[in-house]
Structure 1
Amino acid sequence: MKKHVIIIMLLSVAVMYSQKKKNGTVYIEHPAIEIVEAMQQADIAGDVDKVASYLADDFMSVSGTTRNKNAKGTNKEQFLKWVENKTKWTAYASLTRHGEAYPDAIEYKDGKTWVQTWNYLKGVHDATGVKIEMPLHNLYRLNADNKIELEIYYSYPVGQDIRAGFTERTNGTIYNEHPHINKVRRMMAAFENMDLEKAYSYFDENCSFSSLEMPVGESMDLDEVKESHKGFYDKFEISSIDVVGYPDLLHYEIGGNDMTVQSWWNFRLIRKSDKKKIIMPAMYTHDFNDDGKVVRSIGYFSTKVLDAK
């Protein structure tokens, strides 16, 4: 029985290995790679004549992600027109290999040579200011004359963002009077009058607090803010907190129906150590939840003014 098992195992291994069939060779260095990368850089530079010199007369460029069964792709003439036009609306364009990726050239047994590339495109759309930063994956097929006859591209459709930049659309409603604005005003009045229990009552217990002076991604919870405020009150007396202009409530359409109050204030302070009067400008954004509590507070101010001589 053991002998039979060994024979079966050997046959299985033989079957697995017999299923392999070589269909070409992959190269990390190849003239076709040089041709493709030279064409790509000429494309980015907008050098139409140089790009044309690398393309076959019957060149076609097609999307590898389109679901349009009738898509015919882009021919050489159309592609060159695209190369010419995009330099007119793209600034700071660059194309590099993506990270540690590198292109491959594959010579298939049928005589065709393919090059596959992984790149990273950067630039700015001049008219809309849309920042273009995206990975690109392309396949290129070369003919017997070492001309590129086919390009298949796989990329994020950044054109959607650019097209959106040419239209006007609203993203909600701005209020200059709203119950949430009233809450912010009452909150600041409570801080001015040191009614801290009332002031903190407007915040959700899980509220996050951050400011311009904190590292990106860091925040404090309500208890940490209360402790931080104690140190401030030990050193400064609040004469008044005066609104600058008027607060706005932004009720967004995009992003989950969020409501944010943004407000501007002048903190009129007296430094207890030397009775120095200081004015500290500040801007705040307060995000409200469905229960009418503040769930995120961001402060934009500089505490360096508190060290004024």
Structure 2
Amino acid sequence: MKKLLVMLFMLVTCSVFAQVEKNGTIYKKHPYITIVTNSTALFVKQDWVGLAKVYADTAKFYDPSSPRKQTLADEKKAWADIAARWTNIKVVQVGYPDGLAYDKDPFTVQSWWKVTAVNKKTKKTATFEMVQFDMFNKAGKIGTEVSYYDLTPLMNAAK
């Protein structure tokens, strides 16, 4: 019986210590989360100058609409194209963003959005959900932005 109790104690002790290791911290509120939320508001207002200021000059962008990473200059052209082809753009936050402070990686804000826009030519509405990951550099600027969304609603609204 004594061996059984010792063995049980050892198993419980090991399982407790095995769960102590952390990879970082998740934040519900953080200044970088505010930057991402504000950048979305700037996008909706089409304040491209203000929006560009939250990104590093060397920022890289990844999304399903482009087969390769985009630079800030490429992204500015994409913003102008969006303004030329779409109107009544609405972006609604879904849930709340998470600030991910990993031990060995850049601080990342993970956010979820519901986007609605009307195609100027066809007058059709596109609605889709998007998840976005914004990774910040040491200067507090967004250095990498990765967005995932389904292009189908946009393509259908453009037809």
TM band (smaller chain): 0.7 to 0.9
- Name the counterpart of 1:191: 43
| Aligned equivalents of 1:292, 1:189: Cα separation in 2 | 19
Match of 1:205 in 2: 57
- Give the number of the structure whose alpha-carbon radius of gyration is greater: 1
Match of 1:290 in 2: 138
Instruction: List structure 1 runs of 4+ shifted beyond 4 angstroms.
Output: none
Structure 2 stretches lacking a partner, 5+ long:
1-17
Q: Which amino acid aligns with 1:222?
A: L
- Pair 1:243 & 2:93 matched: yes
2:109 maps to what in 1?
261
SS of 2:80's partner is helix
Which structure is richer in relative contact order (CA contacts within 8 A, separation 6 or more)? 2
Provide TM-score, normalisation by structure 2.
0.81
Q: Give the aligned partner of residue 227 of structure 1.
A: 77
TM-score (norm 1): 0.43
Residue identity matched to 2:71:
D
| Whole-angstrom distance in 1 between the partners of 2:89 and 2:63 | 23
CA offset digits 1:99-141 (Å, max 9, x no partner): xxxxxxxxxxxxxxxxxxxxxxxxxxxxxxxxxxxxxxxxxxx
Question: Taking every aligned residue pair, what percent have the same amino acid on both sides?
Answer: 27
Q: 1:179 aligned to 2:27? A: no
Greater per-residue helix proportion: 2
Kept in 1, the 8 Å contact 2:48–2:79? The answer is: no
Q: CA RMSD in A?
A: 1.5
- Structure 1 residues 283 and 292, CA, compared in 2 at 3 Å: closer, same or farther? same
For 1:228 and 1:185, locate their aligned partners in 2 and report how far apart those are by CA, in whole Å. Answer: 20
8 Å Cα contact 2:46-2:83 kept in structure 1 = no
| Cα pair 2:56 2:143 within 8 Å, conserved | yes
Gaps (5+ residues) in structure 1? 1-166
- The letter of the residue matching 2:97 is P
SS class of match (1:282): strand
Tell me the number of residue pairs that the alignment of Structure 1 and Structure 2 aligns: 139
